[in-house]
Structure formats: C-alpha cells, structure tokens
C-alpha cells in the first residue's frame, strides 16, 4: 500500500518547497495530536515528526519492509538549513520584542559577569579536553565548546510562559542569562567563521562597520521612523502585522548583505520594536508566523538526525550530554547561589538552562557550510541539541521533585543560605506582624485589585513573586513582601496560623494546592478563597478544602453576557454607561503606572 501511494505521488508534478513545508506541517500536526493524547510535550512530537519523514523514518522503514527506499520529503540540505534558520530568526524576533531591559537592571552585574563566565568556562573546558586528548581537531574543538556553551532562549521562554513563571525571580535570572548569551553569540558567529583572519585589520574594520550599521539603523528606526508608522498602523491589525514582519525581513536582508546570519538581524529588529508602547500588540500579531516557523525548526532538527556519527563519535556525544546536563547546571547553580539567590532559585535556574541553544544549530550549520566540520560531526551535534531540548520540558515539569531531592546534599547550613538570599534580594522585607488578618498570595491583575481594595479596611500580609508588582504595591501602602509561592521557608512569614482568610490569587494551581494543604494543616479553621483557570483545577481546589473558587474567565464572560442581554431587552445604554467614564479614567491611570504601555491582560504573563 505504501509503495502504491508513493508511485501515485511520484506521478504528480513536484511542488518543491511548497510540498516540503506542507508535509512538515501535516506530519507535525498529527504527531502533536498523539503527544497531547499521551500528555507529552509538543517539542518531542515535532522532533519525532522530523525523524518520521527524514532518512531514518519512512525511507528506512520502506527499505526494510519492501526492499526499496521511498522518501516523501524531497528537500535538500540547503533547503532544510534555510527553513531552520527562518525558524530561529522569527523566534528571536519575538524574543527581542518582549525584551524589557528595565526589569533586569537590579540583576545586571550578576547576569553579565555570570553569563560571560559560564560561556567561556564551558567553551574553554571542552576545548582543552578535546585538544589535550586529541579527540578532535582544533576547529572542531572550538566549535564543540561554543555549541555546548549556549542555552536555548526558544525553549526556556516558551516553558516559562506556559508555567506562568516568566516574571518570577528565577524566570528573570534565566532570561537575563539567555540575553547575555544571545549578545555573545551574535558577536561570536562572524568571528568563528573568520577565525583565521581575526587579527587582520580588514576583518576587524569590516566587523565593526557591520555592527555600527545595524545598531545605527535600529536607533534611527526606533527614534524617528517606527513611532510614526506604527502610530498609523496600530488600529489596523493587518497593517500592524505586515509592518512588523516587514521590519524583521528588512533587518534580515541587511544582515545577509553584511554576511551575517539572518537570526542576528531578526533579533535586532525585535529589540528595536521593544521600545515602542505597542510592543505587546505587535508580539500578539506575529505569534502565528513565529509558531509556524518554530514548528518547522524543530521538525527540521528531526529530519537531520541521521545517526551516521554512531560509529566514530559516540564518545563525544556522551561527553557532550554530560557537560550539558551536569557541568553547565553546576556552573549556573554556583553563579546564582554565591550571588545570593538561595538554593531553591539557583537550582531552578541551573536546571532550566541545561540544554543547547538554537544558535548552536546555526554555529554547527555555519561550520559545515564553511568546510570546518564534517557531516559526521554535524550529525552528532544535531543529535545532542535534540536530546537536550527534549529533556528540558520534563525538567520544568518535575523541578519541585528535583529540588526536594537535591536540597539534602547542600554543604552549607540553612542559616548561611537564608542570610545570603535576604542580603542579595534587598527589597525582600518581612510583612508587619499582624493577627486575625487576611493572607493574600499573588498580586497580579486579580490579586493587585484585591490588595488595593482591602488594604485600608482589613489587616493584611501579601506575597508575590514579581519584584515590580511588589515594589509598586509597597509604594501604595500594601503590606507585601517578595517571595515564591512554593517557598515553604517564606510561608511562615505569612502567619497563616493566625489568619482568618487566605486568598490564593496566583495562576499556578499546583502552587495553590500545596499552600492550601499547608494552611489546612496549621489552621483548620481558616477560610480559603482561590482562583482557577479550568474547571478541572477548580474541582481539585474544592477537593483539597477550598471554601470558594473563582474562575475569572467564567465570571467575566457571565457578566459580559448579562450586560449584552440587558441591552437587547431594553435597547438602552444608560445602565451600561453608568461607570463608563470612571472605568476609562481608571484604565488610563493604570496604564501610566505600567510605564505607559497599553493595558492588555494576557494569561501567559502570569499576572
């Protein structure tokens, strides 16, 4: 049957690139359905989809079963690399748009020093071992060290968003380290390509000129051009989308003309748009095309898994995986811990960055196209990148269990750890001592509104994991301190044993369940109000003893529907418009408080 289908397809006029893209999307969609049914991460599904349509999938199976090799994917190596690079480019374009350097000011010294130290330590360690034991050539050792040194912005940002952790302290540390790495790799990519000419005046001048052109253009566009054209296109989603994508392609074309990777131009284009007050809307508009190309990127990784390295480079593969999964986390843990961020946050940062970057794929592709790497080495690096990326979602899923396992092996006393953490996070203040009070955990859109409404009428202790939200509410007179909802050491500061009401306004239901269980143990009489996203989450909270569970999306839709029905029944807007002016005034005030960015509630922001 398979042979018959292949013969029919062979008689159809070939569609070239269109056929390959269509095949990638169709197979990726099918594998995504299977992954969701088995409750596995989509990333694994996409890579396996690539293996399925690649040389070790359909062609291998048909050769074994039917004695002939049948391939439905017709693209060559150059086409695959181009599709992969576009995937990386649009991912970094979206990362650039979302980048807010103001949130990283407090962490700048740790991020810059730690990020640079980690990259050069891993790269130097790998280079030294590979050359010392003569396992690889000098250039292969250089490339392998750099490939293993960088972590994946693409994977980490996606997982942080999905777990509502992107604004947590560990989330900001991870994103900060990744941004430092992205800047480094942008500088390193052209240097490694011309390693033999690095001390030549012509190369140095050309490199500096290319960098000056890119950043000068970005400055001019951000300062003078973008404010005008995006103010005009802002109210038209189609025009907004086209303008943003045109900006990305414009910078990509320029970097290509300057003999730099497309992803560098896309990232700089994103950074230039991040300065606009419309960056959230722009990000939302380009998410579709980003997801499209990112899916293609992961599938092409699977397509390129040929396993031709197994006979000669299997020792290098095992060594590389150990470096990524053990040595790299140890370095990140040490940097974060001795910077004063405590065992818990340091471990989450270390485990979260234990993978290889999409930029590493660009490094490997560059080395292959320049003739510095052979196909076996390239195949081995693709395998290492794929394995590290597949493991990461499971690490995020079970990070709490990892922490409970590893914390018992700490060589430092708890007092040392706590003292360093509190000294480093200097805005972490204990809540004022109260009793018969309200405990509020979470101060985003929901929790922040509750805190402002109740702060003057009832004694309260609040806690949140977003430093900006904590500082903002402190200025407004709320008794709040910074802390992770899962940090049992900080739970005691909430004095739940003396409280009359616990309000769980955090979006992460797992954290809410753990805190709810703790509250019921130490204060069985406490009343617990909680929020939930899904009906399943609400049911679990009620089963654990919550007295009332609010689902903001359901409540909002009910009120919305009620207002619509009232209008349809009366044909009057009097009731609807009663609070219109007051609400508009409130929205404007809140927009100013959030640095003049338009207010958009996004569940993925964790607020």
Domains in the chain (CATH in brackets) are: 2-66 (no CATH), 77-409 (1.20.1530.20), 431-605 (3.40.50.720)
**0.85 surpassed by pTM:** no
Closest by CA position to 224, among listed 276, 269, 267: 276
Handedness of CA 95, 152, 339, 337 (dihedral sign): positive
CA distance 380 to 386: 10
Nearest CA to 148 out of 343, 328, 395 is that of 328
Residue 596 pLDDT = 42
Cβ 366 vs Cβ 189: under 8 Å: yes
Asked if pLDDT for residue 599 goes beyond 80, the answer is no
Of 437-441, 499-503, 579-583, the poorest mean pLDDT is in 579-583
When pLDDT is averaged across residues 443-449 and rounded to a whole number, the result is 83
pLDDT bracket for residue 590 (50, 70, 90): low
User: Residue 179, SS3?
Assistant: helix
Strand intervals (E) in 88-231: none
pLDDT over 90 percentage in the chain: 23
> Tokens 């130290």 — which residue?
117
Percentage of the chain lying above the pLDDT 70 cut: 82
Q: Six-digit token pair at 178?
A: 């990744």
Where residue 64 falls among pLDDT bands split at 50, 70, 90?
Answer: low
pLDDT in tens, 418-429: 555 544 544 444
* Mean model confidence pLDDT for the chain: 81
In Å, the largest CA–CA distance within the chain is 84
Angle between helices 237-257 and 201-220 (to 10 degrees): 170
Element (H, E) at 330: helix 328-336
Q: What is the mean pLDDT of residues 257-277?
A: 87
CA-to-CA dists, residue 341 to 119, 188, 346, 422, 593, angstroms: 20, 30, 6, 8, 28
pLDDT on residue 318: 92
Q: What is the pLDDT of residue 430?
A: 47
Cα 266 to Cα 146, 190, 228, distances in angstroms: 21, 16, 21
Which pLDDT score, from 0 to 100, does residue 530 have? 92
Which of 117 and 592 is assigned the larger pLDDT? 117
Residues 291-337: pLDDT tens digits?
898 899 889 888 888 777 666 788 899 999 999 999 999 999 999 88
Question: CB–CB of 175/157 below 8 Å?
Answer: yes
């Amino acid at each position: 049957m398979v042979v018959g289908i292949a013969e029919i397809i062979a008689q159809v006029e070939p569609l070239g690139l269109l056929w390959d893209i269509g095949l990638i999307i169709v197979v990726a969609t099918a594998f995504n359905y299977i992954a969701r049914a088995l409750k596995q991460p989509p990333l694994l599904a996409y890579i396996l989809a690539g293996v399925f349509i690649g040389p070790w999938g359909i062609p291998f199976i048909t050769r074994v079963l039917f004695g002939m090799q049948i391939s439905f994917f017709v693209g060559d190596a150059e086409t695959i690399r181009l599709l992969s690079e576009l995937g990386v480019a649009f991912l970094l374009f979206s990362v650039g748009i979302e980048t807010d350097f103001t949130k990283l000011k407090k962490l700048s010294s740790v991020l810059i020093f730690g990020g640079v130290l980690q990259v050069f330590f891993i790269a130097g360690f790998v280079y030294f071992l590979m050359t010392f034991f003569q396992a690889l050539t000098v250039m292969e050792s250089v490339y392998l060290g750099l490939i293993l040194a960088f972590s994946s912005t693409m994977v980490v940002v996606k997982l942080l968003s999905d777990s509502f952790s992107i604004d947590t302290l560990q989330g900001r540390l991870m994103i900060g380290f990744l941004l430092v790495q992205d800047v480094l790799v942008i500088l390193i990519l052209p240097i490694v390509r011309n390693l033999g000419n690095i001390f030549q005046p012509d190369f140095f001048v050309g490199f500096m000129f290319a960098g000056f052109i890119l950043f000068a253009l970005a400055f001019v566009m951000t300062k003078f051009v973008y404010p005008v054209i995006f103010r005009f296109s802002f109210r038209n989603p189609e025009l907004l989308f086209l303008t943003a994508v045109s900006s990305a392609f414009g910078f990509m074309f320029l970097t290509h003309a300057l003999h730099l990777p497309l992803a560098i131009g896309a990232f700089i284009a994103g950074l230039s748009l991040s300065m606009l007050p419309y960056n959230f809307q722009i990000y939302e508009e380009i998410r579709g095309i980003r997801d499209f190309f990112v899916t293609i990127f992961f599938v092409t990784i699977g397509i390129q898994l040929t396993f031709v390295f197994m006979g000669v480079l299997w020792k290098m593969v095992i060594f590389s995986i150990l470096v990524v999964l053990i040595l790299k986390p140890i370095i990140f843990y040490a940097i974060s811990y001795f910077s004063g961020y405590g065992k818990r946050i340091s471990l989450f940062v270390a485990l979260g960055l234990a993978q290889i970057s999409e930029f590493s794929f660009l490094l490997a592709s560059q080395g292959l196209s320049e003739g510095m790497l052979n196909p076996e080495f390239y195949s081995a690096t693709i395998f290492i990148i794929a394995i590290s990326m597949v493991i990461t979602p499971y690490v995020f899923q079970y990070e709490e269990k990892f922490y409970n396992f590893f914390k018992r092996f700490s060589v430092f006393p708890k007092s040392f750890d706590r003292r360093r953490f509190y000294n480093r996070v200097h805005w972490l203040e204990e809540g004022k001592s109260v009793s018969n009070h309200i405990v509020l955990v979470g101060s985003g859109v929901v929790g922040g509104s509750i805190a402002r409404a109740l702060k003057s009428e009832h004694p309260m202790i609040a806690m949140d994991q977003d430093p900006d939200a904590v500082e903002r509410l402190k200025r407004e007179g709320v008794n709040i301190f910074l802390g992770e909802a899962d940090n049992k050491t900080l739970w005691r500061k909430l004095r739940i044993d003396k409280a009359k009401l616990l309000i769980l306004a955090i979006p992460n239901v797992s954290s809410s369940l753990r805190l709810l269980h703790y509250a019921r143990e130490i204060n069985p009489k406490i009343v617990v109000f909680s929020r939930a996203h899904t009906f399943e989450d609400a049911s679990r909270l009620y089963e654990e003893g919550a007295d009332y569970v609010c689902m903001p999306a359901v409540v909002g839709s009910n009120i919305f529907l009620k207002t619509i029905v009232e209008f349809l029944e009366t044909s009057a807007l009097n009731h609807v418009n009663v609070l219109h002016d007051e609400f508009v005034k409130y929205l404007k005030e809140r927009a100013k408080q959030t640095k003049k960015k338009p207010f958009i509630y996004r569940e993925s922001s964790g607020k």
